[in-house]
Amino acid sequence: MIIIPARIASSRFPKKVLAEIDGVPMVVATARAVRSVDDVAVATDSGEVARVCEEYGIRAVMTSGEHQSGTDRINEAATRLGLDAGEIVINVQADEPFIEPDVVRTLEQLVKKHRNEAQTMICSLYKTVSKEEAKDPNLVKVVTDECGYALYFSRSPIPFDRDGTLESYKGHLGLYGFTRKMLEKFCTLPHAPLEHIEKLEQLRALSHGYDIAMAEAKTQSFGIDTPEDLERALARRNAPGL
């Protein structure tokens, strides 16, 4: 099951999830992009978002407005949908309208690989980004160990390139994969200081000693955080040869 958390509040891009992509709201474009992979539902605290989704035939689940993270929101939606403990739940952000289905399938396979590991709480993906791209605090970076597990995530470029020889970084993609059991367990953990400092919910799992399994994905997509991001994404997609 793919669940897309969609809140309407956004300080940098008001009503971002309803911004138009090729004539349809962004949250609808995102749902359409991934619906060939699995069933899709949008988890929202906004009646307006729910009504828009229903107009386009996208299932919407109303959730509490008190959630501090998208993962907490999809956990409530998974409960309301009656998903069982072993079902795979993929969290795709509503601001990923250009995400390729194969990227979601890669994440699904990663969850299947790690689903029986008690220490693994989350599965996620990264892509290779340039040194210049890594300077953007909206693009989260991740450092992994030799076995492919995340060591840390940051809005700062990590690792620090003391000798100036590093040519690329691992840019985190805003997708998370769980079994329903993993998801429930994550949402019982207390919020962690690092999570609030970086404003990155995945740091909750690392702070409490759990693993996040990572894999590389090839993608041209990126999250839309500002109106300028949307303009760049559309320009890139419409450029000759793409």
| Phi, psi for residue 150 in degrees, rounded to 5 | -70, 135
Question: What pLDDT was estimated at residue 180?
Answer: 96
> Where is pLDDT greater, at 140 or 12?
140
Q: The pTM is what?
A: 0.90
Distance CA 44, CA 6 (A): 5
Lowest-confidence range among 118-127, 129-138, 228-237? Answer: 228-237
Res 145 pLDDT > 60:
yes
242 part of a folded domain: no
Structural domain containing residue 201: 2-224
Structure tokens at 73: 């929101």
Cβ–Cβ < 8 Å for 88, 178: yes
71 part of a folded domain: yes
Q: Is the peptide bond before 159 cis (omega within 30 degrees of 0)?
A: yes
Model confidence pLDDT, tens digit, residues 147-166: 999 999 999 999 999 999 99
Model confidence pLDDT, tens digit, residues 101-132: 999 999 999 999 999 999 999 999 999 999 99
Indicate the pLDDT class of residue 238, thresholds 50, 70 and 90.
low
219 part of a folded domain: yes
Res 239 pLDDT > 60:
no
Give the number of domains in the chain.
1
Question: What pLDDT was estimated at residue 198?
Answer: 96
Rounded average pLDDT over 66-80 = 92
The fraction of the chain above a pLDDT of 90, given in percent, is 79
240 part of a folded domain: no
Res 11 pLDDT > 90:
no
Indicate the pLDDT class of residue 12, thresholds 50, 70 and 90.
low
Res 138 pLDDT > 80:
yes
22 part of a folded domain: yes
DSSP, res 149 = B
Model confidence pLDDT, tens digit, residues 89-98: 999 999 899 8
3-state SS track over the chain: CEEEECCCCCCCCCCHHHCEECCEEHHHHHHHHHCCCCCEEEEECCHHHHHHHHHCCCEEEECCCCCCCHHHHHHHHHHHHCCCCCCEEEEECCCCCCCCHHHHHHHHHHHHHHCCCCCEEEEEEEEEEECCHHHCCCCCEEEECCCCEEEEEECCCCCCCCCCCCCEEEEEEEEEEEEHHHHHHHHHCCCCHHHHHHCCCCHHHHHCCCEEEEEECCCCCCCCCCHHHHHHHHHHHHCCCC
Res 240 pLDDT > 60:
no
239 part of a folded domain: no
Question: What pLDDT was estimated at residue 21?
Answer: 86
238 part of a folded domain: no
204 part of a folded domain: yes
Question: What pLDDT was estimated at residue 154?
Answer: 98
Question: What pLDDT was estimated at residue 100?
Answer: 95
CATH number at residue 6: 3.90.550.10
Indicate the pLDDT class of residue 141, thresholds 50, 70 and 90.
very high
